[in-house]
Amino acid sequence: MRESLRLESFSIPGYNANELRERGERLLPQLAEWSKSDFAGFRRVLDSGSDCYPDLKKIRRMAAAHRKGSSGKPIRDFVILGIGGSSLGAEAILRALHSPLQEPRFHVLDNADPAQMSWLLKGLDSRETLFYVVAKSGATPETLSQFLVAIQWVKKRAKGESWKKHFVLCTDPAKGDLRTLASRWKLDCLEVPPAVGGRFSVLTPVGLFPAAFAGIPLDPFLKGAASVAAWEKAPWHENPCAQLALALAKNARERPITVLMPYSSRLSAFSRWFCQLWAESLGKKGRGLTPYPATGATDQHSQMQLYMEGPADKCLLFVHVANPGGAVAIPSVAGTADLPSFGLLKGKSVGGLLEAEFRATRDAVTNQGIPNGTLAIDKLDAYSLGALFYFWEWATAIAGAELGVNPFDQPGVEAAKVLTKKYLNENR
Amino acid sequence: MRESLRLESFSIPGYNANELRERGERLLPQLAEWSKSDFAGFRRVLDSGSDCYPDLKKIRRMAAAHRKGSSGKPIRDFVILGIGGSSLGAEAILRALHSPLQEPRFHVLDNADPAQMSWLLKGLDSRETLFYVVAKSGATPETLSQFLVAIQWVKKRAKGESWKKHFVLCTDPAKGDLRTLASRWKLDCLEVPPAVGGRFSVLTPVGLFPAAFAGIPLDPFLKGAASVAAWEKAPWHENPCAQLALALAKNARERPITVLMPYSSRLSAFSRWFCQLWAESLGKKGRGLTPYPATGATDQHSQMQLYMEGPADKCLLFVHVANPGGAVAIPSVAGTADLPSFGLLKGKSVGGLLEAEFRATRDAVTNQGIPNGTLAIDKLDAYSLGALFYFWEWATAIAGAELGVNPFDQPGVEAAKVLTKKYLNENR
C-alpha cells in the first residue's frame, strides 16, 4: 500500500509512549461504544459490508448519465445546494482536484443570500445546469428555499416533466421531506447514511457524487482513508493520529487555537472543511479548540505576524505537499537580471519557492517556540486527500474522547433554529 | 450625507462615557503622532490635498483604456498577481459588488502555487487577459515569480512589444524593482502611496483599479469612508468606532478572539480582508486579538456550536445588511404544500429567511451571554463598503494605541523572509 501521509515533524508537547498506551486503554472503549451508535459511522464508511459503505457503482453510473444532460446539451454547470457538512466536503475535493476554469464548472450555494443566488442564476443556462440538493435531514431551510427557487427557474425554461432531470437529491434513505419529494416526483436521489453525521460525510455520496461528476476516480479516496484507518491496528504510542490529537487536547487550555496551514492553495477549502469538523465536534461544555483556516504561503502575508508575536495561544499544523504539482519554472526574462529581487528567483521554480517558504516558516515558528506539527503527503490526489479526511475525522473523535465531549452531536445550535422559525413566521 | 453604517446593537462590556473621554485624551496624541509618520497614511487617503489621495481620474482612464484590450478583443479576464494586502482589499470589493459569472472575470493568484498558476493559465486566452501586478515594495518573491511566468506566457503568444499592453503594475512611486521595470519597459504603472501600509491600501489604486475595471463607481468608496471619518469631530464617548475598538481591546485577555460574521456571502472576502488587518496590526509583544472569518448564515452550520458552547473566548461582531439585494421570493411549488419543512417557507423571501436567521442567531448568542455587537448597513454598495473599510482601519489604529503596539509595522515576519532567501539559494 502506498504511504498516504506521515507526521513529518512534531514539536507539540504531548505524551510519552507509556502515557499514550494508558490513554489508548482508557479511551478506546469510549470510541468503540460511539462507533456502534448513530452519527459515529464515519469509520463504517470504509467497511464494504456495512450500512455506511458508499455504492460507488451507483454514484458513477448516475454521474455519467447526468453529465450527458437531458436537453441535447451536456451539463456545463453543477450547482451544489447545501450548507455546512452538505457542501464543505465536496468543495474541499473539487478545489483540490478540479481546475475552476475547466468544465463542468462547480458552484456552491451555501447561504440564504438572495444576491448570491440571483447572480449565479443570471450567469447560467438552465439546459446545461444540474442542481445537487444536499440535506441529510431533508429540512434545512436555507437549502430548501434555494431548491424551490431553482425548481421554478428550471421549470420556466423546460418542457413538461423534463425539469426533473436537472436535479439530483442527497438525503436520508427513508426519512424527511426531501426523501418524500424524491419518491413523489421520481427524482434521482442518493443516500446519506443515517449513522454518518453531516460533517463526517465527505466520503459518502455527499462528497463523492460531485467528485465523480468532475471525473475524479472514487476508489482512491477510500483507499487513502483506509491506509490511515489501518493504523488502528498499531498501539496508540505508534499511532500518529492519536499522538497529534491527544497533544492538541492536552494543550487545549494554554493553546486553544488550532491553526491548519496547508502549503497549497488547492487545500484552502480543505482548511475550511477541517474548521467545521473540529469546531462543531469539540466545542461543547465550555471545552474545545478553535480551528483556524490558513493557507501557506499566502497567509504568511496576513496572519504570520500574529502567530509569531501575538498571544501564545496557538498550535500550528502544516500540511506539506512534497510535490505541489504542475512543475512551473520561473523563466529568465531579458531586462531583469540586474534587479536583486528578480535575481533571487533565477533558475528556480515556483514549487521550489513554495518549498523554501514552507521550510523557512516552519523553522521560524519553531525558533520562536510555537508548538507545531507537519503532516506530509507526496502529492495532492484523491488518495492523499482521502487520507487527510480520515486522519482528521479520527483525530476529532479521539480529541473528543480525551476532552470528555461527544464529538457527534451539536446541541448548541438548536436555540437559534427555534428562534429562526419564530421570527420567520412573524416576518414577511 | 447618507448614513453609511451604524452600531445597531452592542453588548460587549466596555467603557462608560467618562472613561471613553479620558481614553480619547490619552490616546489621541499617539494617533496624531502616527498619522504624521510613514505607513499611517490611511487617513490621508481621504484628504484630496495629500500625498495619499488616489488619482481617480487616472485610475478610471487607465481602466477604460485597458478594458478595450490591445489585440482587437476586449479584456475578458483580469488577473491580480498579489498577496496579502496587495490582493485582499480588491477581492473584498469584487466579491461584494461584482458577480463572479459576469465579464470581466476576476482571478487572484495570491500564492507561489504552481498548480494554481498552471490551472489558471490553461483556462485563459492571453489576448483577452490583463495582469495587475501589485507589490508595494516591488520585491515580493511570490508575486515576482508569477509576474515572470506571466510575461513568458503572454510573450509567446503576442507580437513584438504588444505583450506589454497586458500588464499594469502597482507599486511604490519611486522605489523598488517593479518601479524600475515599469520605467525601463514603459509599462502602465499605478502608485501605492509610501505612507499607506499594504493592509491599509484598499482605497488606493491597489483596490480601486480593479474596482474601476469592473465598472464600479469609485467616488462612493471615498465618500462612504469620509462619512465614518467625520466621526472624528465627535468626542470619543459619542464615537461608535472608538467605543467598539476599545471594548474589544479591554476584553483582549478574556476574549482574545474577534469573530467577524457578516450576514452576506458577498462579504465573506471582506471578512478575510479584516482578518489580515486585525491580525497583522495588533499581534505584537504577546498582545493582540485573533480575528476570525465567518459568514452568516453559512457558518451557523459550521462554527456556531463552538461559539455557543465552546470556550468563552470570543466576541462576535455581526454585519447586518438591512436589504441584502436582489429580492428573491421563495415560490410555492405544487406538491410541496403538505410537507412541514417546505410549509415554513410559504410566502417568504430568501432575504426574509436570512433576516430571521440573523435575528435568531444574535438573540441566541446574547441569551448565552456571549458579548456581541452589530454594524448595520442599509444595502451593500460602494458607499457602505467604503465605510466598512474605513471603520475597521480606524478601529485597528485605536485598538493598537490602547494595546500599546504599533499597528503599522510587522516585525515578526522578517525571520522567515531571511530564511526563505537562504533556503531558496540552497535549493533548485
Q: Which among A110, A141, A336 has CB closest to B345?
A: A141
What residue type is assigned to position A120 of the chain?
Answer: L
- Say yes or no: B83 contacts chain A, CB-CB below 8 A: yes
Query: How far apart are the C-alpha atoms of B45 and B288, rounded to whole Å?
Result: 26
CB atoms within 10 A of CB B122: 11
What distance in Å separates the CA atoms of residue A85 and residue A202, rounded to the nearest whole number? 8
Helix, strand or coil for residue A37? coil
- Residues from chain A that touch B89, judged by Cβ atoms under 8 A, are none
Quick check: B341 and A124 CB within 8 A? Answer: no
SS3 at position B8: strand
Beta strand B372-379 with A372-379: parallel, antiparallel or unpaired? unpaired
Residues 204 through 263 of chain B touching chain A, CB cutoff 8 Å: 256-257
Interval A234-283: pLDDT, tens: 999 999 999 999 999 999 999 999 999 999 999 999 999 999 999 999 99
CA torsion A199-A203-A209-A211 (nearest 10°) is: 100
Grid coordinates representing B383? Answer: 458607499
Q: What pLDDT shows up at residue A36?
A: 85
Distance CA A393, CA A252 (A): 18
Q: Tell me the CA distances in angstroms from B239 to B8, B200, B243, one per residue in order.
A: 13, 21, 6
What's the pLDDT at A37? 82
Among the partner residues A116, A286, A311, nearest to B312 by beta-carbon distance: A286
Tell me B293's DSSP state.
Answer: E
Cβ pairs bridging A and B (under 8 Å)? 442
The Cα–Cα gap between B141 and B138 comes to 9
- Above 60 in pLDDT, residue B257? yes
B10: how many CB neighbours lie within 10 A of its CB?
16
pLDDT at position A326, please? 75
How much is the mean pLDDT over chain B? 96
Predicted pLDDT at B326: 75
Question: B428 pLDDT exceeds 80?
Answer: no
Cα(B84)–Cα(A294) distance, rounded to whole angstroms? 12
User: What DSSP line would sit under B98-117, residue for residue?
Assistant: S-TTSSSEEEEE-S--HHHH
Would residue B417 show up in a list of annotated catalytic residues for this protein? yes
A368 touches chain B (CB under 8 A): yes
User: φ and ψ at B339, to 5 degrees?
Assistant: -95, 125
Separation in Å, CA A32 to CA A17, A25, A234, B177, B263 = 22, 11, 16, 61, 40
The closest CB to that of B326, out of A118, A347, A360, belongs to A118
Find chain B residues with C-beta within 8 A of A79's C-beta.
none
pLDDT in tens, A301-336: 999 999 999 999 999 999 999 998 778 999 999 999
For B365-381, what is the mean pLDDT?
97
CB of B309 closer than 8 Å to CB of A286? yes
Using a CB-CB distance cutoff of 8 angstroms, which residues of chain B are in contact with residue A100? Answer: 119, 123
pLDDT in tens, B295-317: 999 999 999 999 999 999 999 99
Whether residue A292 and residue B292 make contact (CB cut-off 8 A), yes or no, is yes
Residue B80, CA distances (Å) to A156, B105, B148, B312 in order: 38, 11, 14, 39
**Once rounded to an integer, what is the mean pLDDT over residues B319-336?**
92
Beta bridge partners, A314, equal A257
Residues contacting A28, CB < 8 A, separation 6+: none
| Residue B104: cis peptide before it, omega within 30 degrees of 0 | yes
Q: Report residue B428 as a C-alpha cell.
A: 533548485
Mean pLDDT for all residues in chain A: 96
User: Confidence band (pLDDT; 50, 70, 90) for A428?
Assistant: very low
pLDDT at residue A420 above 60?
yes
Average pLDDT over every residue of A70-88: 95
Q: ipTM score of the complex? A: 0.97
Chain A CB contacts of B293 below 8 Å: 293
Contact state of B344 with A421 under an 8 Å Cβ cutoff:
yes
Say if residue A65's pLDDT is above 80.
yes
Is the confidence at residue B1, as pLDDT, over 80? no
At B173, the amino acid letter reads P
Mean pLDDT computed over A228-233: 94
Contact B286, B229 (CB under 8 A): no
With cut-offs at 50, 70 and 90, classify the pLDDT of residue B27: very high
Phi, psi angles (nearest 5°) of residue A167:
-135, 135
% of chain B at pLDDT higher than 90:
95
Q: Which of A77, A140, A155, A305 to mutate to test the interface with B (most CBs of B within 10 A)?
A: A305
Strands (E), B155-229: 167-171, 188-191
Instruction: Output the CA torsion sign for B358, B363, B366, B368.
Output: negative
- Angle ∠(B17,B403,B279) on CA atoms, nearest 5: 115
C-alpha cell at A328: 512551473
- Is pLDDT at B163 greater than 50 in this prediction? yes
Task: Choose, from B280, B355, B393, B402, the residue flagged as catalytic.
Answer: B280
Question: Cβ separation of B116 and A351 shorter than 8 Å?
Answer: no
Beta-carbon contacts of residue A29 (< 8 Å; ≥ 6 apart): none
Q: Is B352's pLDDT higher than 90?
A: yes
Confidence check: pLDDT of B289 > 60: yes
Tens of pLDDT along B55-71?
999 999 999 999 999 88
Q: Is B237 a catalytic residue?
A: no
| Catalytic status, residue B98 | no
- Report the candidate in A366, A370, A344, A342 with the shortest Cα–Cα distance to residue A356: A344
**Chain A partners of B356 at a C-beta cutoff of 8 Å?**
420, 423-424, 427
Nearest to A372 by CA among A237, A257, A293: A257
Q: Is the pLDDT of residue B427 over 70?
A: no
CB B143 within 8 A of CB B134: yes
Residue B334 DSSP class:
T
Per-residue pLDDT, B164: 97
| Chain A CB within 8 Å of residue B15 CB | no
Is A144 in Cβ contact with B115 (below 8 Å)? no
Place of cell 469592473: B214
User: At residue A227, what is the residue type?
Assistant: S
